[in-house]
Chains A and B, each alone.
Chain A
Amino acid sequence: MHMTTRKRKRKRVVTPLHHPGTCIEPRNIQVGGNYLHTPPPSQRHLPKRLQPAMLALRSAGLRASIHCFRLTASSRLLSTLAILEHRQGKWNANSLSALTAATQLGSGVTAFIAGSDAAKMGAEAAKFKGVEKVLTVENEEYDKGLPENFAPLVVENVKEGGFTHVIAAHTAFGKNTMPRVAALLDVGQVSDIVGVESEDTFRRPIYAGNAIATIKSLDSFKVITVRPSAFDPAGPPAESNAAPIESGKDPKTTSQTAWVSEQISTSARPDLGSAARVVSGGRGLKDKENFDKVITPLADALGAAIGASRAAVDAGYADNALQVGQTGKIVAPELYVAVGISGAIQHLAGMKDSKTIVAINKDADAPIFQVADIGLVGDLFTTVPELTEKIKQ
Chain B
Amino acid sequence: MSQKLRILTPVKRVLDYALKPRVNKTQTAVDIAGMKQSLNPFDEIAVEEAIRLREKHKDRVEDILAASIGPVKAQDCLRTAMAMGADRSAHIEVPESEAPEPLAVAKILKALVEKEGSNVVILGKQAIDDDSQQTGQMLAGLLGWSQATCAAEVKVEGDEILVTREVDGGTETVKAQLPIIITTDLRLNEPRFATLPNIMKAKKKPMQKLKPSDLNVEYKKSFELLKVQEPPTRQGGAKVGSVDEVVAKLKEAGVI
What's the nearest-Cβ distance from chain B to residue A148, in Å? 6
Q: Chain A binding site: helix, strand, loop or mixed by DSSP? A: mixed
Q: Which residue of B lies closest to A265 (CB)?
A: B170
Interface residues in B, total, Cβ within 8 A:
81
- Taking CB as reference atom, which chain A residue is nearest B106? A183
Within 8 A of A (CB), among B202-256: 220-231, 234-247, 249-250, 253, 255-256
Asked whether A188 and B170 contact (CB < 8 A) given A180-B137, A257-B146, A369-B236, the answer is no
Asked whether B101 lies within 8 Å of A212 as measured between CB atoms, the reply is no
- B224 CB contacts on chain A under 8 angstroms: 215-216, 218
Question: In the bound complex, what is the Cα–Cα distance between A181 and B147 (angstroms)?
Answer: 13
A179 pairs with B226, CB closer than 8 A: no
Query: Is B187 at the interface (CB under 8 A from chain A)?
Result: yes
Contacts of B162 in A (CB 8 A): 260
Taking CB atoms, residues of chain A closer than 8 Å to B17 are: 346
- A261 interfacial by beta-carbon distance below 8 Å: yes
Question: Within the complex, what minimum Cβ distance (angstroms) separates A213 from chain B?
Answer: 5
Query: Is A138 an interface residue, CB under 8 A from the partner?
Result: no
A392 to B134, CA, bound (A): 45
B132–A215 contact, CB under 8 A?
A: no
A199-220: CB near B (< 8 Å → 1, else 0) gives 0010001111111111111110
Q: Is A326 an interface residue (CB 8 A)?
A: yes
B130 CB–A CB distance under 8 Å: yes
B102 lies within 8 A of A321 (CB)? no
**Does A165 sit within 8 A of B, measured CB to CB?**
no
Best-buried of B225, B246, B247, B249 by chain A (most CB within 10 Å): B246
- Give, as a whole number of angstroms, the nearest-CB distance from A318 to chain B: 13
B24 shortest CB reach to chain A, Å: 10
Query: Is there contact, CB below 8 Å, between B237 and A175?
Result: no
- Verify if B122 is at the interface (C-beta below 8 Å from A): no
Which A residues from 314 to 340 make CB contacts under 8 A with B? Answer: 314, 319-321, 326-327, 329, 334-335
Whole-angstrom distance between the Cβ of A115 and the nearest chain B Cβ: 16
Cβ-based interface call for A114 (8 A):
no
Is A182's CB within 8 Å of the partner chain B? Answer: yes
For window 1-32 of B, CB contacts with A under 8 Å fall at 15, 17, 20-21, 23, 30
A289 located at the interface, meaning its Cβ lies under 8 Å from any Cβ of chain B in the complex:
no
Kindly state whether residue B142 has any CB partner on chain A within 8 Å: yes
A273 contacts partner chain B, Cβ-Cβ < 8 Å: yes
Is B67 positioned at the interface, with any CB of A under 8 Å from its CB? no
A176 in contact with B131 given A211-B231, A321-B170 (CB within 8 Å): no
CB distance from A9 to the nearest CB of B (A): 16
- The answer to whether residues A210 and B170 also contact, given A147-B147, A179-B137 and a CB cut-off of 8 A, is no
Whether B173 pairs with A211 at a CB distance below 8 angstroms is no
A327 interface neighbour in B137, B186, B234, B244, Cβ under 8 Å? B186
A262 adjacent to chain B (CB < 8 Å): yes
Cβ of B168 within 8 Å of any chain A Cβ, yes or no, is yes
B148 an interface residue at 8 Å Cβ cutoff?
yes
How distant is the Cα of A175 from the Cα of B138 in the complex, in angstroms? 11
Contact of A358 among B103, B147, B246 (CB under 8 A): B246
Distance between Cα atoms of A259 and B125 in the complex (Å): 20
Q: Known: A376-B243, A390-B244. Contact between A257 and B148, CB under 8 A?
A: yes
**Interchain Cβ contacts under 8 Å between A and B, 13 examples:** A172-B167, A180-B137, A192-B133, A209-B231, A211-B30, A211-B229, A214-B225, A215-B224, A257-B148, A257-B174, A319-B170, A375-B236, A391-B247
Pairs of residues from A and B, 3 with the lowest C-beta to C-beta distance, nearest first: A188-B222, A183-B141, A179-B137
Apart from A189-B132, A256-B177, A260-B174, what are 12 other A-B pairs with CB-CB below 8 Å?
A148-B147, A172-B168, A179-B133, A186-B103, A190-B223, A191-B131, A206-B131, A211-B229, A257-B175, A373-B234, A373-B238, A373-B253
Residues in chain A within 8 A of chain B (CB atoms): 94, 144, 146-148, 151, 171-172, 175-184, 186-192, 201, 205-219, 256-265, 271, 273, 277, 302, 310, 313-314, 319-321, 326-327, 329, 334-335, 345-346, 352, 356-358, 364, 369-377, 383, 386-387, 390-391
